[in-house]
Amino acid sequence: MEKALWYLLTATRGGENRVRIIRALSDQPLNANRLADELDVGYKTIRHHLDVLESHNVVEAGGDKYGQLYFLTDQFEHSRDTFEEIAKHLD
C-alpha cells in the first residue's frame, strides 16, 4: 500500500485532488456528487479519481450504484501514517 500511495499521490497529475478526496472521506463517507460539490471539482474528475483509488484499494464503495458512498479501506487505514507523511510534502 505504501508504494501505491507514493505513486498515486506524487507520481501522477491527480495527486493533489486525490489527497483532497482522502481527507474529505476521512471526515465522513460521501458519494461522488457530494465530493464534487464539496471539493469544487467536476463530477467526471471525481469519478475518475475514485475509480483509481478504488483500483488501488484506498477506497471502497458501499450501497446502491446510484448514490454509492465511498469509504476509506482498512488497508488504507493501516498506512495512514504514510499518507500523512506524503500529504505533508505536498502541502
Cell of 9: 499521490
The CATH number of 1-90, from 1.10.540.10, 3.50.50.60, 3.20.20.140, 1.10.10.10, is 1.10.10.10
Cell (9 digits) for 10: 506524487
* Helices 32-39 and 43-55, packing angle to 10 deg: 120
Sorting pLDDT into bands at 50, 70 and 90, what band is 4?
very high
Tell me the per-residue pLDDT of 27-86, one tens digit each, with 9 for 90 and over. Answer: 999 999 999 999 999 999 999 999 999 999 999 999 877 779 999 999 999 999 999 999
pTM listed for this prediction: 0.93
Sign, CA torsion 41/42/46/48? negative
d(CA 70, CA 89): 25
Residue-range domain boundaries for the chain: 1-90
